[in-house]
Structure 1
Amino acid sequence: MRRAHQEACVRIGLPRGDGRGASRDEGDFRGPPGRAGDAADDRDDRLYPPTGYKQTDARTSFFYAATGITPAMAMRLTDIGSQYLFGTKDGNGDWFDGAKTYKVVLPKGIPAKAFWSFTLYDNQTRSMLKTPQKYPRAGSQAYPSPAAEVAEDGSTTIWFAPEQPEGVARGIWIQTDPEKGWVALMRLYSPTPAFFDTSWQPSEVMPVQ
């Protein structure tokens, strides 16, 4: 059954059975150009084009991960509301593999006036990734897991790995399942102008040897 599911996904353009995968349409909603890792975001209104017709491919991709949609999710509302960044591939252009270790560096000044968080999801079920860690998240809040630690230079590094890397605090590690693929969702609550003008950007999510 699993093999049949994966083969069906490949036929429709979702390699390795990845559910919340990258859209095949470059006109779809996505992050800043020139990055190897696939990322989709809601910085603009491509889901709601001024032409009057619907971007059906973009909506199909979006609705695999979300059950509702509203223009407010793509409006430039600084200091209120929320914005989201999806990650499906690493900086080499490869799909996230739960058996590998990755890290992403968030530069100083994360553009969230209220709070921010990273959450991992199973790329086939769309549910939060189920691991012994229980809460597959990291963020600025200290609940339900410890708050992410900030480095001396003001940056924050988040790790994704099946086992907690040596010397890495719980607050900056999210456990993965070595038998599953995953996708990441970064939420920014009360996003600041630096998010919308892209003057602040996270690093690529890169594999660590």
Structure 2
Amino acid sequence: MKTKHSLKLALLALAITTLAGCPEPNTTDSVAVNTENTQDTYLGKIEYQDQTITKASAAKLNRQIDLQRASQLTLWAMPITSFYHSYNATKKNLGLNDDAEPVIGLYEGYDAVYPFLTANVTTPYTISIVDLSATGPLVVNIPEGSVFGVANNAWQEPIKEIGSGEKETLLFVGPGQDYHQDFKGEIIQNNTFMLLYFYRVLGTGEDAEKLKTAVTAYKLSDAANPPKTKYLTFNPKPEDKVFIGTAPEGMEYWELVNAYLQKEPMADRDRFFYAWLKDLGIEKGKPFNPTAYQKEILLEGVKTGMAMGQAIAFNKTQEKFASSLYGTDSGWEDAMAGMNPKIDLETYSMFNERTSYTFEAVTTSAGMVSRVAGKGSAYLGSYYDADGNALMGGNNYILHMEPNPPAANFWSITVYDIANRLIIQNDTKRADLSSRSEDLVTNSDGSVDLYFGPEVPNGKESNWIQTNKDESFFVYLRLYGPEQAYFDQTFPMNKIVKTK
């Protein structure tokens, strides 16, 4: 025992001697101790104990992380929530209960096209939204003639442009689905189960009317004995409840996200978004039962995210959308936001552009971004007046259209409400004016003055679109067959001016 005790004393003495001989530490290399350290950030003050973040500040930051992610997830999900909600609304409006029935809807006129985001009243729509997980692979036969359209996946990306003018037999195949390898026709592999295809028939007269219902569609499993294609005309009566395609806010938004997540395969580009969703209670293969905290975050996130979506869509900047502003100070912006409908480019996938467009519209095609003069279509949007104020339905406005708008086919002006991005509902049941309007009054030099407001200006009935008090709005100019003056931006566009 004495030996061990003596050894301990000796080692202690050696340690003291060694420490006594060491130089003092260089205090200039150490971090100063501060028990009340704070940092000013854009989230406010962050508190530290020396260099360690306090529990209270860590909780504050973790909540902000979740809120920011929920807001960005709102923007990320805009294409799919709009698509899924449009599918649900279409089924209800057409009275469909069977997901496996490949019905084609006919929509023409003010009341018929109302449910679709930023629909055009001037031209009719023929639309089919299909769940390939219910139908299996789908055969669509396109007749010869002037039938032009596109097929989109659930992200509103074009997977097939329709419009060669030639007869085509198409087979749309969902993820992982089998089909006859000897199928005679074009096979389009869709990367989502949800599919939308729509087309327009250009031209007029009896032949054009026949072409509207000349497309046939049936399940591949019925190919040996195809049933007659079912066309349904949507023509709601005043007393009918109409379901709109605008994606809802609140928890319904996240229920649509969850529906997509459970049904569709995950794209590799979205892996991090799926991780964020998992933290907020949305996970593939599991029920969506958010905790009280998760629900709070999701509700706050979608509210802020929708505001962000409007900020991006209605206030495009050169920094985010280099090619989207028309002229230097015209008050008009490219509604497509300079988007490539393919979204996935060689070095990145478009996010701002996709968010901007799908906040206010639905479906994309190559023709919508064509740069060939006289082909396709172009879309300009105006969201504020000449003074930079919102276009408010209780005010009166005038838009002076210069002579010869650069449209090889025709041009149209349409007014939409901000809340739902749908054609404005008014007493006159008119939301648009166009170069095809029979009663449009043109000035002696070929220019046109268009009026927007709650009351018709004296003698201007033919050139007036009624707006609603306490309801702000925005305006689209469509150019069908945009000409070179549009691409060169040499055609002068004027701002919408508030009048007395």
**How would you bin the TM-score normalised by the shorter chain?**
0.7 to 0.9
Match of 1:37 among 295, 320, 331: 331
1:189 is matched with: 480
Contact 1:20/1:183 (<8 A) preserved: no
Structure 1 residues without counterparts, runs of 5 or longer: none
How far residue 42 of structure 1 moved from its aligned partner, in angstroms, is 4.6
Comparing 68-77 and 104-113, the one that deviates more: 68-77
Match of 2:286 in 1: none
Paired residue for 1:83, among 372, 375, 378? 378
1:62 counterpart = 2:366: no
1:165 matched to 2:457? The reply is yes
CA distance in 1, matches of 2:434, 2:462: 7
Q: What is the one-letter code of the residue matched to 1:172?
A: N
SS in 2 for 1:186: strand
Distance 1:19 1:166, change over 3 A: farther
Residue 347 of structure 2 corresponds to which residue in structure 1? 52
Contact kept? 1:19, 1:123, Cα under 8 Å: no
Aligned equivalent of 2:369, options 56, 61, 74? 74
For 1:117, which of 412, 435, 446 is the aligned residue? 412
Q: For 2:447, which of 135, 141, 155 is the aligned residue?
A: 155
Equivalent residue number for residue 27 of structure 1: 320
Encode CA deviations 1:71-120: one digit per residue, 9 max, x unaligned.
Answer: 33222121122111111111111111111111111111111121111111
Give the partner amino acid of 1:32: Y
Q: Is the 8 A contact 2:338 2:353 kept in 1?
A: no
Query: 1:11-41 CA deviation, whole Å, 9 max, x = no partner?
Result: 84467xx896324674225222532635334
- Distance in 1 (CA, whole Å) between partners of 2:484 and 2:398 is 25
Relative contact order (C-alpha < 8 Å, sep 6+): which is higher? 1
TM-score by length of 1: 0.82
Kindly indicate which of the two structures has a greater share of residues assigned to helix. Answer: 2
1:208 and 1:66 map into 2 onto residues whose CA distance is 29
Cα contact 1:78–1:192 (8 A) shared by 2: yes
Shift of the 196–122 alpha-carbon distance from structure 1 to 2, 3 Å rule, reads same
Q: Distance in 2 between matches of 1:19 and 1:136?
A: 25
Number of aligned residues: 200
What is the rounded CA distance, in whole Å, between the counterparts of 1:54 and 1:19 in structure 2?
Answer: 17
**1:133 Cα offset (Å):** 1.2
Q: TM-score under structure 2 normalisation?
A: 0.36
Matched, 1:133 2:425: no
- Return the letter of the residue paired with 2:497: M
Alignment root-mean-square deviation, CA: 3.1
The whole-number CA distance in structure 2 between the counterparts of 1:193 and 1:25 is: 22
Task: For 1:128, give the aligned amino acid.
Answer: I
Helix, strand or coil: the match of 1:195?
helix
Matched-pair identity in %: 24
